[in-house]
Amino acid sequence: MIDSSLGKITRRSALGAAVMPLAVIASARVPDSAVRNAALARSYIEAVGRKEFDRVETMLTPEVAFSTPDGADIRGSTKYLAAIRKLAPILVRNDVKRVFVDGQEGCIVYDFVTNTPVGAVPSVEWLTFDKGRISAVRLIFHSAPWPRVLAALKARER
């Protein structure tokens, strides 16, 4: 498993015990695709946080599948990008905490930082990779403060 945290890439055992620096990973023959997927995950969430939506589009497959805890499913990059663009007025940035990649799947743990009274919303995206792009996004977040975030967004639309 690849763990990219604070700008360095390490390898964790299945139990999460040992952490090895990148030099050791190279000798352990970690697939280049895992390293590329970890970099893609970080670049994606950082681009969303910087509102670089055209760049985000290049990281997604055209038929990307997006799902949330409330069952809201979106299919297709055009619809997904339209949904995240709606959040732009309240999004300040995404602060990446950890990136984990195992094969063609990964998780990115981050704070979705808003300019609302809520501030940061702890979030995780479980990603699926396909040929160097993201083909599925499953969003998991701290939902208790989310109604206040949406209320602030709605008030700004008026």
Instruction: Return the CATH number at 82.
Output: 3.10.450.50
- Given pLDDT bands bounded at 50, 70 and 90, which one contains residue 29? low
At 135 the three-state DSSP class reads: strand
Q: What are the Cα distances from residue 90, in Å, to 46, 78, 154? A: 16, 21, 10
Per cent of the chain over pLDDT 70 is 81
Tell me the whole-structure pTM to 2 decimals: 0.81
DSSP 119: -
pLDDT the model gives residue 23: 53
Averaged pLDDT, 128-148: 94
Q: Is 75 helix (H, G, I), strand (E, B) or coil?
A: strand
* Residue whose pair of structure tokens reads 């990603």 in the numeric block: 127
Mean pLDDT of the 35-58 span: 97
Amino acid 15: pLDDT = 47
Containing structural domain, residue 99 = 2-157
How many domains in the chain? 1
